Amino acid sequence: MSREGAEHALRARADERDRISGDLLDLESHTTYQLLKGAALRGPTQQRWAAAQSALATVWTLYDAYRTVLRDAEQFKAARGRLDGGELAQLTELLAGSSVVLRAAAKPIEQRSLLPDADQRLTLDETVTRMDAHFREVTAALTEIDAAWTAALPRLDGADAELRQVRDLQQELGEAQDLSQAENDLKRMRAAALADPLGSPPGPELDRVARLLASARADLERAVQVKDDYARRREELSAALDRVRAAESEARLAHGAVVVKIALPPQAQPRSRAESLAADLDALDVSADGWVTRAGRLATLEQSTQEAAGQARATAKALYGLLGRRDELRGRLGAVEAMATRKGMAEDPDAVRLYEQARLLLWTAPCDLTKAAQAVDLYQRAIHGGKR
pLDDT of residue 144: 95
Beta-carbon contacts of residue 319 (< 8 Å; ≥ 6 apart)? 251, 254, 255, 257, 258, 264, 268
DSSP 307-326: HHHHHHHHHHHHHHHHHHHH
pLDDT of residue 240: 97
pLDDT of residue 87: 77
Residue 100, CB-side half-sphere exposure with 13 Å CA sphere:
21
Q: How far apart are the first and last CA of the chain?
A: 112
Backbone angles phi, psi at 79, to 5 degrees: -80, -10
If DSSP codes are grouped into helix, strand and coil, which group holds residue 265? Answer: coil
User: Along the 388 residues of the chain, how does pLDDT read in single tens digits?
Assistant: 677 777 788 889 899 999 999 999 999 999 999 999 888 999 999 999 999 999 999 999 999 999 998 988 888 777 776 767 787 888 788 888 888 888 766 667 776 667 666 678 899 999 999 999 999 999 999 999 999 999 999 999 999 999 999 999 998 888 878 889 999 999 999 999 999 999 988 889 999 999 999 999 999 999 999 999 999 999 999 999 999 999 999 999 999 999 999 999 999 999 999 999 999 999 999 998 999 999 999 999 999 999 999 999 999 999 999 999 999 999 999 999 999 999 989 889 999 999 999 999 999 999 999 999 999 999 999 998 755 4
Amino acid at site 51: A
Strand-strand pairing, 120-122 and 100-102: antiparallel
pLDDT of residue 388: 46
Burial of 306 (0-12, 13-18, 19+ CB in 10 A): middle
Compute how many other C-beta atoms are within 10 angstroms of the C-beta atom of residue 40: 9
CA 304 – CA 149 distance, rounded (Å)? 48
Q: Which of 170, 280, 288 is nearest to 234 (CA)?
A: 280
pLDDT of residue 106: 65
pLDDT of residue 39: 86
Residue 102 near residue 122, CB atoms below 8 Å: yes
pLDDT of residue 72: 85
